[in-house]
């Protein structure tokens, strides 16, 4: 199960461990996935602990879009 992406379930040679710390400020990858999917993400939850670069960018974009929408909604 380690060789597949947690989000798209595809096989990839280059995967990122979602529990490794990301450089810089901001939410962790598990927090972004949980915000987007509405499901908690825990280490050892029997799901893949890796994400492919494409899905990682998609998760980051989705998270940023959600934050932007929340800010707009709160200021409207």
What digits encode the pLDDT tens for the residues 16-43?
Answer: 999 998 777 889 999 999 988 889 999 9
Q: Is residue 36 part of a domain?
A: yes
Q: Is residue 62 part of a domain?
A: yes
Q: Is residue 47 part of a domain?
A: yes
Q: Is residue 1 part of a domain?
A: no
| pLDDT value at residue 1 | 46
| pLDDT value at residue 76 | 54
Q: Is residue 71 part of a domain?
A: yes
CA dist 11 and 22 (Å) reads 22
Q: Which residue range forms the structural domain that includes residue 37?
A: 16-75
Q: What confidence tens digit (pLDDT) does each residue in 49-62 have?
A: 999 999 999 999 99
Tell me whether residue 8 is annotated as binding: yes
Tell me whether residue 4 is annotated as binding: no
Tell me whether residue 5 is annotated as binding: yes
Q: Is residue 9 part of a domain?
A: no
Q: Is residue 66 part of a domain?
A: yes
- 47: pLDDT strictly greater than 70: yes
How many domains are contained in the chain?
A: 1
For residue 34, give the nearest of 3, 10, 66 by alpha carbon.
66
Taking a C-beta distance cutoff of 8 angstroms, is the pair 49, 6 a contact? yes
Tell me whether residue 70 is annotated as binding: no
pLDDT category, 5, cuts 50, 70, 90? very high
Please give the DSSP secondary-structure letter assigned to residue 7: T
CA dist 61 and 10 (Å) reads 20
């Amino acid at each position: 199960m380690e060789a597949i992406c947690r989000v798209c379930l595809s096989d990839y040679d280059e995967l990122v461990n979602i529990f490794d710390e990301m450089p810089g400020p901001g939410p962790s990858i598990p927090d972004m996935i949980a915000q987007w999917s509405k499901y908690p993400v825990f280490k050892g939850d029997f799901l893949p602990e890796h994400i492919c670069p494409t899905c990682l960018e998609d998760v980051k974009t989705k998270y940023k879009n959600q934050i932007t929408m929340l800010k707009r909604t709160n200021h409207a």
